[in-house]
């Protein structure tokens, strides 16, 4: 289906289909009425081009409640009744908050937008509250973190990069264990909702849910 609509998801360096199938096929099997928000419609600045992912989501989830596409460029092609497109920057707090308030919360949020490092981090922070409990956040093309053209860095220790931002969330996910060992680590506001984190080639999947478990530390006698 991705190929039919000329989506790059199954054809890029790493096959994006596998990770998506793992998480989304169960939703499809149960006929879930999903709500989806995706940043980046495609087609660059051409008004009548793009939309491959929107068409794919619409066909894959025929019972979808709403599918939202947000792009910095204006898009004017025909889409299904349950698909809406908005022209806005993915870091336009006012515009994104209005979309979240009117159409959210969402089961799936995908960042396939500018891939600029500061945008990647800001977008996650902006829309995490718009993601449902038991929802899924997906970052595509996470390799931009290593690109200076995307304001990333070849220095793997550069703390401002998007990849290091998401790596730090792994510590947040384990905040109870860190505290149990006497570390003064202060977790982020996301820590108690980081139910699962999955890193794939050029992709990051984050499951939102309950992460308020106590430490499992066992002290040897």
- Which residues does the annotation mark as catalytic? 115
Written as one string, the DSSP assignment of 116-129 is: -HHHHHHHHHHHGG
Rounded to whole angstroms, the Cα distance separating 176 from 166 reads 18
Q: Are 90 and 113 in contact (CB under 8 A)?
A: yes
E strands, 40-149, in order: 66-71, 83-87, 106-111, 131-140
- The number of C-alpha atoms within 13 Å of 150 and in the hemisphere containing its C-beta is 23
Radius of gyration (C-alpha) of the chain in whole angstroms = 18
Rounded to whole angstroms, the Cα distance separating 130 from 107 reads 9
Of 111, 107, 109, nearest in space to 132 by CA = 107
In this structure, what are the phi and psi dihedrals at residue 147, rounded to the nearest 5 degrees? -100, 125
Please list, in sequence order, all residues whose beta carbon lies within 8 angstroms of the beta carbon of residue 116, skipping any fewer than 6 positions away: 144, 150, 151
């Amino acid at each position: 289906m991705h190929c039919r609509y000329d989506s790059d998801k199954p054809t890029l360096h790493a096959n994006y289909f596998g990770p998506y199938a793992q998480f989304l096929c169960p939703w499809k099997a149960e006929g879930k009425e999903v709500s989806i928000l995706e940043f980046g419609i495609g087609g660059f600045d051409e008004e009548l081009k793009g939309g491959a992912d929107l068409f794919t989501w619409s066909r894959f989830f025929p019972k979808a409640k709403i599918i939202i596409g947000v792009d910095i460029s204006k898009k004017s092609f025909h889409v299904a009744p349950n698909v809406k497109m908005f022209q806005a920057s993915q870091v336009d707090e006012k515009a994104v908050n209005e979309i979240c308030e009117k159409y959210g919360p969402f089961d799936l949020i995908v960042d396939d937008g500018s891939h600029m490092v500061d945008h990647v981090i800001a977008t996650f922070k902006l829309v995490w509250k718009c993601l449902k409990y038991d929802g899924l956040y997906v970052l595509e093309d996470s390799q931009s973190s290593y690109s200076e053209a995307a304001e990333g860095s070849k220095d793997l220790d550069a703390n401002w990069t998007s990849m290091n931002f998401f790596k730090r969330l792994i510590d947040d996910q384990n905040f109870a264990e860190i505290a149990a060992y006497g570390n003064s680590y202060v977790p982020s506001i996301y820590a108690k909702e980081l139910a699962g984190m999955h890193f794939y080639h050029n992709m990051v999947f984050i499951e939102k849910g309950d992460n308020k478990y106590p430490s499992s530390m066992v002290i040897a006698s």
